[in-house]
Structure 1
Amino acid sequence: MFFRFIVLSLGLLTTSYALAAPQVLKEIPASLLGDASRQKVFVLTGDADEASNRLLIAPVQARNEEILLDTSKALPLIKSQYSSALQGVFSVHVLKGRAGVMTVIDPQAEEAVVKQPFVEAGDYIALVTSEEDNAVYNFNLLFAFNKGSKQFELKALLEVANNDSCDRSLVSVVELPVQTLGPIALASFDGREVLQKLQVARTGSIEGVRKKLMTVDSADLLDMALAAYRKGDDSSFKDTMSYALMGGGSHDTCPPDSYIVAKYYYPQRPGWSNDLGFLLGEAGFYAESIELLDAVVASHPNRTVAYLNLADSYWAVNDKERAVAAYKQYASRMSEAGKASKIPARVGERSAVAPEA
């Protein structure tokens, strides 16, 4: 049942009914309309006969007719598998919009910032999936206010994954096509129905392209490492590259094959991944370099320089057979491109070395 008259003042809700007001589970200040106005986003307990919470958005000083959103369909509750308690399917967040980037919530409830144009400066609403016994992935559904339709519309759908071992930190943010869920406004958002579609999207094929987004932290790390490397500041360079490694770089607790490709291979930006693979090798993190560069050449066989970087890392770990094969690939591709004069001398010298039996 909806209340006919709601006054939001000093964080309190009162009604004209002689009934207890809904309990405020969450209250978040926001600026959602792209102007200087201020709103509050409330998560409230729903009616006793409904297995859902209530989502309400209103100006800080509101009359009933000024309420921007009031729905009990968006936040369904499900029964815990361990008890009779009900728990939320989605958590509600208000995140800050900035030019060229957007913020997401990872499965450990930590914020991460990724490079992606989203909305103009201002806040947006994130509904984040929550599952018992799942600390590995979630979905972030980002809603922004459309001044034309006066609706909070779905602008981005993201699958956010953490490592399932080691330090369980963020490894990837993948943008899925919004049409996976169809045109959605928050006012008509049906949380139960959407959750089913999200499970299909994760396990089945979907129309459109999945795009892996780069975190600002990763981009900054590469920039800092390149700057130190070019200046010849070996100490700062190696320290910076060590930040790229999970588990403090311990292969016993966090082997490279458990996270390097998931975290640092970007299908749409193979040049970035190649550069990081090169720097990992230069810093002495050869296993990590090999793991990443193998992924680059496997999916982008025309990325010629990646073969040289991969060969150098194989050579450094005394895997001469794979090193020679990669050097020969590099030399062949450079010759075909008419760039034989630019092949480093070490390529021919090492390619002539017979691999150890």
Structure 2
Amino acid sequence: MFFRFIVLSLGLLTTSYALAAPQVLKEIPASLLGDASRQKVFVLTGDADEASNRLLIAPVQARNEEILLDTSKALPLIKSQYSSALQGVFSVHVLKGRPGVMTVIDPQAEEAVVKQPFVEAGDYIALVTSEEDNAVYNFNLLFAFNRGSKQFELKALLEVANNDSCDRSLVSVVELPVQTLGPITLASFDGREALQKLQVARTGSIEGVRKKLMTVDSADLLDMALAAYRKGYDSSFKDTMSYALMGGGSHDTCPPDSYIAAKYYYPQRPGWSNDLGFLLGEAGYYVESIELLNAVIAHNPERTVAYLNLADSYWAMNDKERAVPAYKQYASRMSEAGKASKIPARVVERSAVAPEA
């Protein structure tokens, strides 16, 4: 069924010959073109014989020929497992573009900001997967307007995960290769087909590199904690580090092994993760420190200083059985690198202690 739409400042109307006016489910103001122009993004009910909603994008006060997008393939509906009701596969969001960062939507529908170049100016459109009984992960498909092709192109595909226990807050944002879905535009996007490919990406192997992105909150936390630590502001330092813990820091309700490595180990930045592990230990969060530093060493056995930081946290917990081998590993690696003179005196002293003492 074909509708001719006229977008007015008060909403969306159809011409008199339209058979039935669609219901407006969502209306979002936007600035998508990288200039001062304004648009509106509408989610509308689809035709009665179609199991989908309709996505329409048009300039404010547009004529019909100025409509930027009109598709009913992007937003399929599926039957609920609990009733005969149809539910949306994707939710639609308009997010603000800023140089060097991008915003994503987590499974709890909360916004998070990650450090990653994406768009220089203007808003972008996010299609976010939605599944019944799944509050653990979703996919964010980010589309930005290409002024050359005059199309909304898929620029980023992200898997966003929350902790499956504790406070269910964000633990990771991983960028998947865009070719997982192929080079697509929003006009050509088929939501049903995309969902099948995303399910395969989740459960199987995919071609290309998966890259974990750092949240701005995590980056800021380390910067603030490190500054306070170097200045000797003990109270401020420990207070800042407490924000790294989930569930209020309670090991009973939120054990560190359920989130620390998933949240704070960054494969592309092991040095950053090592530094945070060190600071966790200095703040007295030894279990968290050990969990993170073990993850760093497991993936980067050549990172010598991590053995020292790990040994210090074990020692602080009076776990000499694990501390002593870590100190010896650190000392051996330093000696092999010709840096024996830089080994701290405590390493030599503690390495000589019998583990059972």
TM-score in same-fold range (> 0.5): yes
Give distance in 1, aligned partners of 2:354 and 2:328: 13
Residue 277 and residue 92 in structure 1: after superposition, are their counterparts in 2 closer, same or farther (change >3 A)? same
Would the aligned equivalents of 2:308 and 2:327 in 1 still touch at CA under 8 Å? yes
Residue 23 and residue 310 in structure 1: after superposition, are their counterparts in 2 closer, same or farther (change >3 A)? same
> When the two structures are aligned, how many residues end up with a matched partner?
357
Give distance in 2, aligned partners of 1:47 and 1:161: 34
Would the aligned equivalents of 2:7 and 2:59 in 1 still touch at CA under 8 Å? no
Shift of 1:319: 1.3
Give distance in 1, aligned partners of 2:15 and 2:192: 29
Give distance in 2, aligned partners of 1:12 and 1:68: 15
Shift of 1:136: 0.2
Aligned residues with identical type, % of pairs: 96
Query: Structure 1 residues 9-18 or 28-37, which shifts more?
Result: 9-18
Shift of 1:2: 2.1
Would the aligned equivalents of 1:5 and 1:16 in 2 still touch at CA under 8 Å? no
Deviations 1:24-77 (A, max 9, x none): 000000000011100000000000000000000000011111000000000000
Three-state SS of the structure 1 residue aligned to 2:187 is helix
Three-state SS of the structure 2 residue aligned to 1:35 is coil
Would the aligned equivalents of 2:144 and 2:153 in 1 still touch at CA under 8 Å? yes
Shift of 1:9: 3.4
Shift of 1:286: 0.2
Give distance in 2, aligned partners of 1:67 and 1:16: 18
Would the aligned equivalents of 1:4 and 1:16 in 2 still touch at CA under 8 Å? no
Give distance in 2, aligned partners of 1:102 and 1:35: 18
Would the aligned equivalents of 2:6 and 2:61 in 1 still touch at CA under 8 Å? no
Shift of 1:103: 0.1
Would the aligned equivalents of 1:142 and 1:154 in 2 still touch at CA under 8 Å? yes
Would the aligned equivalents of 1:25 and 1:44 in 2 still touch at CA under 8 Å? yes
Deviations 1:147-180 (A, max 9, x none): 1111000000000000000000000000000001
Three-state SS of the structure 2 residue aligned to 1:195 is helix
Shift of 1:316: 0.9
Shift of 1:5: 4.4
Would the aligned equivalents of 2:281 and 2:289 in 1 still touch at CA under 8 Å? yes
Three-state SS of the structure 2 residue aligned to 1:186 is coil
Would the aligned equivalents of 1:52 and 1:75 in 2 still touch at CA under 8 Å? yes
Three-state SS of the structure 1 residue aligned to 2:8 is strand
| TM-score with structure 1 setting the length | 0.99
Deviations 1:298-356 (A, max 9, x none): 10011110000000001111111211111111111111111111100000000000011
Q: Which runs of 5+ in 1 are unaligned?
A: none
Would the aligned equivalents of 1:142 and 1:155 in 2 still touch at CA under 8 Å? yes
Would the aligned equivalents of 2:3 and 2:14 in 1 still touch at CA under 8 Å? no
Deviations 1:179-205 (A, max 9, x none): 011001000100000000000001000
Give distance in 2, aligned partners of 1:43 and 1:119: 24
Query: Structure 1 residues 203-212 or 9-18, which shifts more?
Result: 9-18
Give distance in 1, aligned partners of 2:191 and 2:302: 44
Q: Which runs of 5+ in 2 are unaligned?
A: none
Which ranges of 4 or more aligned residues in structure 1 deviate by more than 2 Å? 4-9
| TM-score with structure 2 setting the length | 0.99
- In the other structure, the counterpart of 1:234 is 234
- In the other structure, the counterpart of 2:225 is 225
Give distance in 1, aligned partners of 2:7 and 2:126: 25
Shift of 1:20: 2.9
